[in-house]
Amino acid sequence: MLTAEPLPRREFLRQAAFSLAAGGMACGRGAKAADSPLPRLRDVFQGRPRIGVAVEGRLPDGVPADELELIRGQFDILTPANCMKWDHLQPREGQFDFQQADAFVAFAEANRQKVAGHCFVWNRPETSTKWVFQDGDKPADAALVLQRMQTHIRTVMGRYRGRVHSWDVVNEALDDGKAFLRRTPWTETLGDEVVAKAFQCARRADPAATLVYNDYNIETPAKRAKLLRLLAQLRDANARADVVGIQGHWEIDRVPFEQIEETIVALHGAGVKVAVTELDIDMVPREKYFAGGSQREEVVKQDPYAEGCPADVLQRQADQYGRLFQIFARHSEKLDRVTLWGVTDRVSWLNAWPWKRVNHPLLFDRQAKPKPAFFAVLDAARGR
Ligand code: GLA
């Protein structure tokens, strides 16, 4: 059903009161009468917590002007969505390509923003850079893989020492099933110690950087228990993580609020800070896609919001974003940052994963205009 429900009056009036001064963009609804600038998340939150965004594409010239204005104006800290991943930085042994990453860091510095570096050891078979595990025609042995990992981390962190606030040292190591860590080329060669080895190396490379362990679904009790075990192992191995990144790729009507809050508290108890590193709220539920069986064929035909997302659904999303940020505001001293995975709905990866559809998961729409979710997040910051 695509007919728009009327906005609740309070929401309508507030949206009508703002227009987007930055970049000369009008906010839309009723903007002509009032020209007050759009509030900035970074000003309203004032670092409690820091608010970040992941940026795809080359900065600044590869990013559309309306998004650039939002990136510059709204956020404290920027994550490169892809240009600091291993495949990008060192596609072949010894051949580093820092062009895009250099431009990214320079952009953030010019704008007095921090950078969240992402990521070194990404523990999935499909994201483990192939040459790292080959030695000519043979599989590389543990010593060679370790040496390559250390060289990569040292080279990249050394280049940006003092200029990158935090590094996702290990991404997605924990297994979703019964195993502790996921079986991948990394764990097959270096064993479960790969995580500790990566953290030890990163600590030496830039002792002042904040080191992050990043993963998804770690707010769920089973994976959270594995995470706490991993953190204890890291401490014992003198390979401490400073921050745990909860990715936060959630779905509308299935955001696990209680588990998220419990996890923030549990991690604080375990002596680490928390970052929400990749936040978005998928509007087209995807659990059936992963349920297995024949349902997937039906699910991949679903594209319910191709012509736009109805106002009542956007409001539901706003309420859920609001509730999340109320939790974040309540625990802000335990948080390092909260980062959205993308600026506007048009660049979100959820338009293509796990199947192609028109999605609306972020705070700004396809015209780079603020959605009800944006205002709900502001309200949470202001304690309303
Ligand atoms: C994962 C990774 C990110 C990114 C997102 C989706 O969560 O950590 O680098 O690839 O998926 O785009």
Instruction: Please tell me whether residue 293 adopts helix, strand or coil conformation.
Output: coil
Instruction: Please tell me whether residue 331 adopts helix, strand or coil conformation.
Output: coil
Report which of 11, 73, 7 is spatially closest to residue 38, judged by C-alpha positions. Answer: 73
pTM of the model: 0.91
DSSP symbol at 141: -
pLDDT (tens digit per residue) in 287-326: 889 887 888 988 999 999 999 999 999 999 999 999 999 9
- Catalytic machinery residues: 172, 278
Report how far apart, in Å, the C-alpha atoms of 177 and of each of 38, 217, 219, 313, 346 are.
45, 12, 15, 33, 33
Whole-angstrom Cα distance, residue 29 to residue 26?
A: 9
pLDDT (tens digit per residue) in 145-156: 999 999 999 999
pLDDT (tens digit per residue) in 343-357: 999 999 999 999 999
Distance from residue 318's CA to the centre of ligand 1 (Å): 23
Q: Flag whether pLDDT at 28 surpasses 80.
A: no
172 CA closest ligand 1 atom index: 8
Q: Record the tokens describing residue 335, joined without a space.
A: 């948080």
Ligand 1 pocket (Cβ < 6 Å) reads: 118, 171, 216, 247, 278, 349
Q: Flag whether pLDDT at 183 surpasses 90.
A: yes
278 CA closest ligand 1 atom index: 7
Q: Can you say how many angstroms the Cα of residue 112 is from the centroid of all Cα atoms in its chain?
A: 20
Parallel/antiparallel/unpaired status of strands 138-139 and 134-135: antiparallel
Q: pLDDT grade, residue 6 (50/70/90)?
A: very low
The mean predicted confidence, pLDDT, of the chain is: 92
Q: Record the tokens describing residue 332, joined without a space.
A: 């802000």
Q: Flag whether pLDDT at 12 surpasses 50.
A: no
